[in-house]
Amino acid sequence: MQRKQSNKLYKEAKKYFPGGVNSPVRAFKSVFGSPLFIEKGNGSKIYDADGNEFIDFCCSWGPLILGHNNSKIREKVISAITSGTTFGAPTKLENELAKLILQNNRFIEKLRFVSSGTEAVMSAVRLARGFTKRDKIIKFDGCYHGHTDYLLVKAGSGLATFGTSSSAGVPESFAKETIVLPLNDKEAVKKAFENFKNEIACVVIEPIPANNGLLLQEKSYLEFLREITKANGSLLIFDEVISGFRVGFCGAAGFYGIQPDVVTYGKIIGGGLPVGAYGSSEKIMSCVSPDGPVYQAGTLSGNPVAMSGGIAQLKECLKKGFYQKLETKTQNFVTSINKFAELQGYKLKVFTVGSIFWFAFTELEKVQTSEQIDPKSMEKYKILHNELLKRGIYFAPSGYEVGFVSSAHTSKDLTKAKNAVFESLKFVFKND
């Protein structure tokens, strides 16, 4: 595989950007080689600067549920752009996207558009704090909620109750407002609510944690979170930036049939353009400025170009059988790999929900907490990633990241990918 142009571009990019990238995981630090510079995408495929073609399972980390360069999205976006890109005043396209979402989602009554997932979660937490007039929040080890200060917090060591910042530049005083707990542990949550009675504004969770492996939780656990937050006057925030419009139009809330207080969206909601949103009941949303005291704003929020991307994409998602078809495709792909791995005696399990999958080099039947992921298993992912690239298959450049199947992936693509995985696994397990 030729990487001459990508390497050249990367060398130049390193002069301009820290690590040569504008978002860290793109830098290929967790896999072999350096990043491929992508020139174009079409359907399930991407093409790099050296002309290599790949079937893409990263899909820009989730947004591209229709694949690359979808004609419906392209046409709608182009049509919007010819009338101007932003006005800083309302446009009817905002109404159109909001209506499309609210009419088909029984879990929220009102929403606010922002420009990223980070912004959506940050605003949702502020809303929860403003609504409850409390400061502390609970988050979980193994969930990612964007790069807001008080969400870049990991569990403190030993018996420490409060989190410590997981990034330089986050004041310890901010981290102290965040309580970090392990997933799938009801007792830990109960204890936190006992220790901080009437102090906890919200529990924020990825109901389908998919940023640190795919750590599928029990429905009963999510129901427990629903009950304990309600009993304590705290809000339950479902961060559905990945799961929203992915495991079904109503995301994980719909998938599990659990009503959260606030939901956040990103990724798919913008059809590949920068859109995020947070939504809730009319009552809670009435706290948001200018109706209420919780301030939140955005120069480019709800701009017509981004809205158009979202409208075109979500209209496709609403078509009958869309999610069923996507899920069946994904499950067949995953099942064949799991069967192959079992037959060969490989220590590999592919976990999946909807059109999300995650390759876990483990013997465990379930992986539900970040602690259950063996960091050493990532060495295996590195080999897999590299072997797959050689065979024209693009997976995310980190073993902690999940893969996505889009509606553009054909059965031919999936057969090719499956065979490439089979061949690559031989190299992964060569020395076992």
Ligand X SMILES: *Cc1c(COP(=O)(O)O)cnc(C)c1O
Residues of the shown chain interacting with ligand X in the complex, contacts defined by CB under 6 A: 116-118, 121, 144-146, 206, 211, 239, 241-242, 266
Q: Which two tokens stand for residue 2?
A: 């030729």
Helix (H, G, I), strand (E, B) or coil at 256: helix
Q: Which is nearer to ligand X, 116 or 308 (CB)?
A: 116
- The angle formed by the CA atoms of residues 366, 367 and 370, to the nearest 5 degrees, is 165
CB of 121 to ligand X, least distance (A): 5
CB of 239 to ligand X, least distance (A): 5
Set 56, 141, 239, 413: catalytic member: 239
For the chain, what's the residue count?
432
Q: Angle formed by the axes of helices 411-428 and 378-390, to 10°?
A: 130
Amino acid identity of residue 387, one-letter, is: E
CB of 197 to ligand X, least distance (A): 28
CB of 266 to ligand X, least distance (A): 4
> Is-catalytic flag, 150?
no
Q: Which is nearer to ligand X, 141 or 239 (CB)?
A: 239
CB of 143 to ligand X, least distance (A): 7
> Is-catalytic flag, 267?
yes
CB of 396 to ligand X, least distance (A): 12
Helix (H, G, I), strand (E, B) or coil at 421: helix
Q: Which is nearer to ligand X, 120 or 317 (CB)?
A: 120
Q: Which is nearer to ligand X, 22 or 411 (CB)?
A: 22
Q: Which is nearer to ligand X, 45 or 145 (CB)?
A: 145
Set 45, 136, 267, 380: catalytic member: 267
Q: Which is nearer to ligand X, 146 or 279 (CB)?
A: 146
Phi, psi of 20 (to 5 degrees): 75, 10
Q: Could you give the CA distance from residue 74 to residue 80 in angstroms, rounded to a whole number?
A: 10
Q: Which is nearer to ligand X, 3 or 145 (CB)?
A: 145
Q: Which two tokens stand for residue 390?
A: 């050689």
CB of 242 to ligand X, least distance (A): 4
Measured CA distances, 100 to 95, 301, 318, 377 (Å): 8, 17, 9, 42
- Per-residue DSSP letter, 155: P
- Strand bridging mode 349-353 / 393-394: unpaired
Phi, psi of 394 (to 5 degrees): -105, 110
Residue with tokens 């207080």: 261
Q: Which residue is nearest to ligand X (CB)?
A: 117
Q: Could you give the CA distance from residue 228 to residue 203 in angstroms, rounded to a whole number?
A: 10
> Is-catalytic flag, 256?
no
Q: Could you give the CA distance from residue 254 to residue 388 in angstroms, rounded to a whole number?
A: 34
User: Computed over its alpha carbons, how large is the radius of gyration of the chain?
Assistant: 21
Spell out a b/e string for 97-117, using b for 16 or more CB atoms within 10 Å of the CB, else e. Answer: bbebbeeebebbebbbbbbbb
Set 136, 139, 141, 144: catalytic member: 144
Helix (H, G, I), strand (E, B) or coil at 154: strand
Judge contact between 399 and 377, C-beta under 8 A.
yes
Judge contact between 328 and 144, C-beta under 8 A.
no
Query: What is the dihedral angle through the alpha carbons of 315, 316, 317, 322, rounded to the nearest 10 degrees?
Result: 140
Q: Could you give the CA distance from residue 264 to residue 173 in angstroms, rounded to a whole number?
A: 25
- Strand bridging mode 262-265 / 235-239: parallel
Q: Which is nearer to ligand X, 317 or 389 (CB)?
A: 317
CB of 23 to ligand X, least distance (A): 7
Known catalytic residues are: 144, 239, 267
